[in-house]
Chains A and B, each alone.
Chain A
Amino acid sequence: MKEMEVELLRLIEKNANLEVEKIAKLMGKSTDEIKELIGHLEKKKAILGYSTLIDWAKVLDKEEVTAMIDVKVAPARGVGFDKVAERIYRFPEVKAVYLMSGAYDLSVTVKGKTMMEIGHFISEKLSTLDSVLSTTTHFVLKKYKHDGIILEDEDEGDKRIVVSP
């Protein structure tokens, strides 16, 4: 059962768009079995959602601006970093928050339409939080690979000869 779950998750991790019928054929199971398994994994929140990886630069004139912000915070007694992390991750412009080991505490990824917009968020919302001690902002200049996918892959075509022994 566990093996089946892992195999299914690996398949849809790579391609959430894969039809149930195809998953069933690939795994040698019936479509009902696969539907049930997906339902089960959704229920126990192993599957949290189905998002699409988009290269917005291909569609919009200007790509959104992404910033990764290193945040130093003062943890609060009893709740540690969790409370301040929550204060931060509830903002919709915040796309990711991780507690980090090392020189700073929280890594916060923010997306905005312009650099100004992100600057505004940092100066008005983030750095004004009581427990935030300092912020260091890094703007993303170019994305090469995101979530395991290479964005500007050169010729991916099949380089093999057509027929071989």
Chain B
Amino acid sequence: MTKTSYISKQVADLKPSGIRRFFDLAAQMDDVISLGVGEPDFVTPWNFIEQSFHSLEQGYTSYTENAGMIELRNEISNYLRKNYHLTYDPTDQVIVSVGASQAIDLALRAVIDPGDEVIVVEPSFVAYVPTVRLAGGIPVTIQTRAENEFKLTPEQLEQAITPKTKAIILCNPNNPTGSLLLKEELEQLAKVIEKHDLLVLSDEIYAELTYDDVYTSFPSIADMKKRTILISGFSKAFAMTGWRLGYAAGPTEFIAAMVKIHQYTMMCAPTMAQHAALEAMKNGRQSVLQMMESYKQRRNFIVSSLNEAGLHCPTPGGAFYAFPSIQTTGLSSAEFAEQLLHQEQVAVVPGDVFGASGEGYIRCSYATSLKQLDEAMSRIKRFVIKRRALQSSQ
């Protein structure tokens, strides 16, 4: 090997995820209560698991169609119609992917030409920016503000658009802020999107986990369906993260392009997971509702506990994250998270790993048992009190 590096420049230039660094830190310690986990604490409902066993016993161990089993695509299409008033033809407007993550990758690779700009609304899920880069695009970030409840405003969007802008990734409800865009807000954004003829990648993986308001799926906004790739999956609401199963729905042209990439790079999503997902679509509603009720209760609990502990935290409308401000402690997000981990063995994720506007905040996942959550809140409170005492003595 004579070259100094065989790694592509593109990949070499990618920043490692800030989450990864924090994971390494937390993983070394014992007795950590983690509020840093971006997945449900529930195990997959038994009937989904059992259906997967059954499919294996029946010998369903081979590939499926590239776009996924037609039975599953039918059910996804029904599900989207029933819950979000969306009509997608299961034969050519739905693709089953390996997690919503792969659907995002497929969608970006399907539409981006080198140099195209894609708007990413931060604080955001950590994968968008690197995935845009890997697809050859240029990520353009917008920093949403706490005073707007971390919601993208039409003015901010307008400012970020250039002649090179091709698409925008919207994540609603948002990871990490839990912020939820309501119908009127989406309509305002839609006007700007229409005006500039943008494509929308609507990541709605947390759609089911909304607690106070009626959820509006972006493609259900007037005239938006034709320019939207809806991305969702089974990981969050159905507690199936490890099964790696997601889907995308959109106009035929986009889905066909995504299937083209998928057939060469992935073949199909795992068959046994597709069988479990089929059961989830058919008989999973009750389990989802039960989990939703539990998340909502724990959201109420964590928000009031964080505020009591002196960390200002508005009530998030969706997902399973609270995003309190830690600015009054005088610490940066990273310092707060590191000191909290070392002093009180509670893991949270510093807000700045999700983008610059996340600085001054931490992400606390409340997908954790009430017992653990309660203990974590006592520890955070103790930590903040100690920190305050230290501040006032300085």
Question: How far is the CB of B107 from the nearest CB of chain A, in Å?
Answer: 18
Interface string of A62-77 (1 = CB under 8 A from B): 0000000000000000
Docked-complex contact B19 and A163, CB < 8 angstroms: yes
Docked-complex contact A163 and B36, CB < 8 angstroms: yes
Docked-complex contact B37 and A160, CB < 8 angstroms: yes
Q: How far is the CA of A164 from the CA of B125 in the complex (A)?
A: 11
Given A22-B374, A26-B370, verify A162-B41 contact (CB < 8 Å): no
Given A7-B293, A22-B370, verify A164-B23 contact (CB < 8 Å): yes
Interface residues of B in 254-305 (CB under 8 A from A): 293, 297-298, 300-301, 304-305
Docked-complex contact B297 and A163, CB < 8 angstroms: no
Docked-complex contact A10 and B300, CB < 8 angstroms: no
* A22 partner, pick from B19, B22, B32, B301, beta carbons under 8 A: B301
B17 sits at the interface (CB 8 A): yes
Q: How far is the CA of A27 from the CA of B32 in the complex (A)?
A: 27
Chain B residues whose CB sits within 8 angstroms of the CB of A28 once the complex forms: 300, 304
Docked-complex contact B370 and A162, CB < 8 angstroms: no
Question: How far is the CB of B28 from the nearest CB of chain A, in Å?
Answer: 10
Question: How far is the CB of A139 from the nearest CB of chain B, in Å?
Answer: 28
Interface residues of A in 104-157 (CB under 8 A from B): none
B38 sits at the interface (CB 8 A): yes
Question: How far is the CB of A109 from the nearest CB of chain B, in Å?
Answer: 26
Q: Chain A, interface size: which category? A: 10 to 19
Chain B residues whose CB sits within 8 angstroms of the CB of A161 once the complex forms: 23, 27, 37
A158 sits at the interface (CB 8 A): yes
A165 sits at the interface (CB 8 A): yes
Docked-complex contact A165 and B301, CB < 8 angstroms: no
Docked-complex contact A163 and B293, CB < 8 angstroms: no
Given A25-B301, A28-B300, verify A163-B34 contact (CB < 8 Å): yes
Docked-complex contact A158 and B300, CB < 8 angstroms: no
Chain A residues whose CB sits within 8 angstroms of the CB of B359 once the complex forms: none
Given A11-B297, A22-B301, A25-B305, verify A162-B32 contact (CB < 8 Å): yes
Chain A residues whose CB sits within 8 angstroms of the CB of B32 once the complex forms: 162
B347 sits at the interface (CB 8 A): yes
* B23 partner, pick from A10, A25, A26, A163, beta carbons under 8 A: A163
Question: How far is the CB of A40 from the nearest CB of chain B, in Å?
Answer: 20
Q: How far is the CA of A26 from the CA of B22 in the complex (A)?
A: 29
Docked-complex contact B38 and A165, CB < 8 angstroms: yes
B26 sits at the interface (CB 8 A): yes
Residues of B within 8 A of A (CB): 17, 19, 22-23, 26-27, 32, 34, 36-39, 41, 125-127, 175, 293, 297-298, 300-301, 304-305, 347, 349, 370, 374
Task: Provide a sorted-by-A list of 16 A–B residue pairs whose CB atoms are within 8 angstroms.
Answer: A10-B293, A22-B370, A26-B301, A27-B300, A28-B300, A158-B34, A160-B37, A160-B39, A162-B23, A163-B22, A163-B37, A164-B23, A164-B39, A165-B17, A165-B125, A165-B127
18 other A-B residue contacts (CB within 8 Å) besides A22-B301, A163-B19, A164-B37 = A22-B370, A25-B301, A26-B298, A26-B370, A27-B297, A27-B300, A28-B300, A158-B34, A158-B41, A160-B41, A161-B37, A162-B347, A163-B26, A163-B36, A163-B37, A164-B19, A164-B38, A164-B39
